[in-house]
Amino acid sequence: MELFKKELFDRGIKRVVVSEDEIRARIAEAGKYIDSIYDGRPILLVSILKGSFVFLADLARAVTVPCEIAFMAAKSYYESTQSSGIVHITMDLDRDISDCHVIIVEDIIDTGRTLADVVKLLRSREPLSLRVVTLLDKPERRAVPFEADMSLFTIPDLFVIGYGLDYGEYYRNLPYIAEYGE
């Protein structure tokens, strides 16, 4: 990706899958959903880096309950098609969560392995409650059973980029979600 970098970059954006307007509308609904569940109680939004950073920024501004933010990054390693339950935390939370209503904020659920493991880990720390909100869900790709409490968009088995999601670390700053194509 060097000589005609910009040209190759642009060609990777095959077609828009979810527009900015659609994202904005669903995030407003997600904010109302969160407000209605927690009914004024403070929450802790836990963003799984890096993919969820854009979603987190917009979702946090759509809720009106008192809201703290925390970040973690995780990589999962698997020896077989079964979830090993081994999640490698490359960056852990900087706080105890035992007195928190936690919402994990994820960009996309694909095989489900990362979130299955992250949820298991955070549950072991005994928060007051734990829910998962994901921007995107690709249920066709699931390898371990996993369901989010709220998914903003269900998409078919496509590789998507933008709004936080990357291909080779590029495209995270696209304001919409697009299908990646070479």
Applying CB under 6 A, the residues found at the interface with ligand IMP are: 51, 76, 107-114, 159-160, 165
Whether the CA torsion 22, 24, 28, 33 is positive or negative: it is positive
- Residue among 110, 117, 157, 166 flagged as catalytic: 110
Site for Mg ion in 19-58 (CB under 5 A): 51
Cβ contact 23:164 at 8 Å? no
**9 is in the binding site of which of ligand IMP, Mg ion, none (Cβ under 5 to 8 A by kind)?**
none
Site for Mg ion in 79-138 (CB under 5 A): 107
Minimum CB–partner distance for residue 83 and ligand IMP (Å) = 9
159 binds, among ligand IMP, Mg ion, none (CB under 5 to 8 A by kind): ligand IMP
Give me 167's structure tokens. 């291909």
CB of 109 to ligand IMP, least distance (A): 5
CB–CB of 73/51 below 8 Å?
A: no
Pick the closer one to Mg ion by CB: 107 or 137.
107
Would you list the DSSP string of 7-24? HHHHHTEEEEEE-HHHHH
d(CA 55, CA 24): 10
Residue 94 designated active-site: no
- CA-wise closest residue to 112 among 76, 166, 154: 76
CB nearer ligand IMP, residue 110 or residue 119 = 110
Using an 8 Å Cβ cutoff, are 12 and 182 in contact?
Answer: yes
Q: Cβ closer to ligand IMP: 73 or 97? A: 73
Q: 169 Cβ partners below 8 Å, 6+ apart?
A: none
Which residue number, 60 or 108, has a Cβ lying nearer to ligand IMP?
Answer: 108
Shortest distance (Å) from residue 131 CB to ligand IMP: 17
Using CB distances below 5 to 8 A depending on partner kind, what does residue 112 bind out of Mg ion, ligand IMP, none? ligand IMP
Alpha carbons 86 and 92: distance in angstroms, whole number: 14
Task: Name the site residues for Mg ion (rule: CB under 5 A).
Answer: 51, 107
Annotated catalytic residues are 110
